[in-house]
Amino acid sequence: MIMANENLTNNKIPFFSVCVPVYNVEKYLRECLDSVLNQTEQDFEIILIDDGSTDNSNLICDEYVAKYPDKISAYHKINEGQFIARFSAISHARGQYLLFLDSDDFFEKDAFCEIKKTIEETGADLVLFGYKKYLRGKYINECISDYEDNQVFDKHGKKELYQDIVSKDSLNAIWQKCVRKDLVVITDDVFNYVGLNQGEDRLLSLSILDNASKIVYLGKALYVYRFNEASTTKNNTLKNYKSIEIVDGFVASYAKKWNVDEDVISNKEANRVQLGFSCAFSLAKQVINKTKNIEELKQAITYIANDKVFTCALNKYGKDLSTFKQKVCARIVKGNARGIIRLVKAHRILTKIRQKLKG
């Protein structure tokens, strides 16, 4: 149940609702919120969903509500994951268009102005835009798609986008989208995905892309993504595997609906083999480092071995893997956890030897 701290005093319907899920980001939250408050376009509201933070993030939320009661509302809830937090924000949003902001990231100062201008000029119900990567106080690079600036995708031109969201990661992030609110449909089954921690952006993006009638790509980097080397999206765990398994099921359904090319779907299936390998490899390293126990590895490989998509894809594409990956995957299928650990130990030794020889 959501416990609300709602102090919004402005009754005007804003153009944008900025949805911000918040969880243990006290270090970055002020910079995040200030990037919205300092926008050149001020027709917006901010919806903060504190997803059970255990640091001072909840207090910072309340601090900003007190300072900007006409702009910000905050809701405090138990921890259910970012996916549910985003839908909670959407359910409270009053704006015509939704923007999404992760609470350790920020927007460029003219982002809202550029997006609003595009919507007013084109009538788009979905705007896609580029972003910058940010690490240790520096911009690493800009991520702009190959689409033309202001390229329009209508009913008959969406096939290219469909192909890309099924086969690539470049369109996954929900924070590089501005979507008309009525394109997002909240159904009861949303809450079946409490704890989903991988692929949740793609899951939400699929239905939005499907529902949109006119999509415009804005070839400018308007969002700044703080690259976190310790991010949970980099941890290959069984929980992550299960999350991707759920999302892949939806991807397959939409791919069929959209008549996506078979080779694109095949490439997606091949990725499941890499995911299974990565999960087993990561857990084996943690067992060796004594941060996980072998039972967790056994549980994971048993689950993966029983995943028909993994085993079928391994039969189809296993020959394309490196010898090391083939050996690990073979032991996954056999349920041989100790064999995987021995392989990973040997791999570590060989890697160190190669590094010394190069040095």
Whole-number average pLDDT of the chain: 89
Which residue did the predictor score with more confidence, 297 or 231?
297
Length of the chain: 359
Give mean pLDDT, residues 236-256. 86
pLDDT of residue 240: 87
Task: Give the mean pLDDT of 284-298.
Answer: 94
pLDDT at 6: 54
pLDDT at 1: 42
**% residues pLDDT > 70 (the chain):** 91
How far apart CA 39 and CA 262 sit, in angstroms, is: 44
Q: How confident is the model at residue 157 (pLDDT cuts 50, 70, 90)?
A: confident
Phi/psi of residue 65, nearest 5 degrees:
-60, -40
178 Cβ contact list (under 8 Å, min separation 6):
16, 97, 98, 99, 115, 119, 126, 127, 129
**Integer CA distances (angstroms), 196 to 88, 200, 240, 278, in order:** 15, 7, 8, 18
User: What pLDDT, on a 0 to 100 scale, did the predictor assign at position 186?
Assistant: 75
- Mean pLDDT of the 89-104 span: 96
The most confident of 71-85, 95-109, 309-323, by mean pLDDT: 95-109
Banded pLDDT at 266 (limits 50, 70, 90): low
- pLDDT tens figures, 115-140: 999 999 999 999 999 999 999 888 88
For residue 54, how many C-alpha atoms fall within 13 Å in the half-sphere facing its CB? 1
What is the mean predicted confidence (pLDDT) over 296-313?
Answer: 94
pLDDT of residue 65: 97
Residue type, 234: K
Topology adopted by domain 2-230: Spore Coat Polysaccharide Biosynthesis Protein SpsA; Chain A (3.90.550)
36-78 pLDDT, tens digit each: 999 999 999 999 999 999 999 999 999 999 999 999 999 999 9
Greater confidence, 159 or 126?
Answer: 126
CA distances from 91 to 97, 180, 249 (A): 13, 14, 25
- In the structure, what pLDDT confidence band is assigned to residue 168 with cuts at 50, 70 and 90? confident
Domain boundaries for CATH 3.90.550.10 within the chain: 2-230
Which residue is associated with the tokens 């996916």? 83
| pLDDT exceeds cutoff 80 at 236 | no
Q: Is the pLDDT of residue 226 over 90?
A: yes
11-15, 82-86, 166-170, 213-217: least confident range: 166-170
Write a three-state SS string for the chain: CEEEECCCCCCCCCCEEEEEEECCCCCCHHHHHHHHHCCCCCCEEEEEEEECCCCCHHHHHHHHHHHCCCCEEEEEECCCCHHHHHHHHHHHCCCCEEEECCCCCEECCCHHHHHHHHHHHHCCCEEEEEEEEEECCEEEEEECCCCCCCEEECCCCCHHHHHHHHHCCCCCCHHHEEEEHHHCCCCHHHHHHCCCCCCHHHHHHHHHHHHCCCEEEEEEEEEEEECCCCCHHHCCCHHHHHHHHHHHHHHHHHHHHCCCCHHHHHHHHHHHHHHHHHHHHHHHHHHHCCCCCHHHHHHHHHHHHCCHHHHHHHHHHHHHCCHHHHHHHHHHHHCCHHHHHHHHHHHHHHHHHHHHHHC
Task: Between 211 and 230, name the one with better pLDDT.
Answer: 211
Burial (CB < 10 A; 0-12, 13-18, 19+), residue 120, is: exposed
Q: Which position has the higher pLDDT, 206 or 8?
A: 206
- If you average pLDDT over residues 200-227, what whole number do you get? 93
**CA nearest to 17, candidates 128, 178, 202, 203:** 178
Q: Please state, as a whole number, how many other Cβ atoms lie within 10 Å of the Cβ of residue 62.
A: 17
Is residue 297 pLDDT above 70, yes or no?
yes
Enumerate the β-bridge partners of residue 100.
19
